[in-house]
Amino acid sequence: MNISIVILLALFLTSGFTHDSAYDPLDASKRGGPIPSYRPSSVGDPSFPDSTEPVTPDISSFIPSEYGQPTGKWFRQSVDFDEHFGFSSGQNLGEVGDGDDLIEFIVVHHPGAELQARVDKAPPKHLKMRLQLTKRGADFQRTELLKERTLTANALWNLNLFPEILPDKDDSIYVISAELLAEDGTVEDTATRTIVIPKMSVNAGLSIDKTDYGSGQEISLTIKNAGPLTLMTGTYYQIEKYEDGKWRKIVFDAVFEAVGLFIRPMSEYKETNRLPELEDGSYRIVKTIHVIDAHLQISLAQTFTVRP
Other C-beta atoms closer than 10 Å to the C-beta of 129 total 22
Per-residue pLDDT band at 168 (split at 50, 70, 90): low
Q: Which pLDDT score is estimated for 106? A: 74
Residues 6+ apart with CB under 8 A from 183: 126
pTM for this structure? Answer: 0.60
Q: Which pLDDT score is estimated for 193? A: 81
Q: Where are the domains of the chain?
A: 3-52+201-307, 78-197
Q: Which pLDDT score is estimated for 101? A: 63
pLDDT at 38 over 80: yes
pLDDT at 252 over 50: yes
Say whether 78-197 and 3-52+201-307 share the same fold: yes
Per-residue pLDDT band at 243 (split at 50, 70, 90): very high
Per-residue pLDDT band at 206 (split at 50, 70, 90): very high
What mean pLDDT is predicted for residues 12-24?
A: 32
Q: What are phi and psi of 274, to 5 degrees?
A: -95, 125
Most confident option among 62-66, 172-176, 293-297: 172-176
Per-residue pLDDT band at 67 (split at 50, 70, 90): confident
**Mean pLDDT value across the chain:** 76
Per-residue pLDDT band at 158 (split at 50, 70, 90): low
Instruction: For the chain, report the end-to-end CA distance as a whole number of angstroms.
Output: 35
Classify 3-52+201-307 by CATH class: mainly beta
Rounded CA separation 181/170 (Å): 33
Yes or no: domain 78-197 corresponds to CATH 2.60.40.10 = yes
What mean pLDDT is predicted for residues 71-92?
A: 49
Q: Which pLDDT score is estimated for 88? A: 37
Q: Are 234 and 54 in contact (CB under 8 A)?
A: no
pLDDT at 63 over 90: no
C-alpha dihedral sign at 68, 72, 74, 78:
positive
pLDDT at 237 over 50: yes
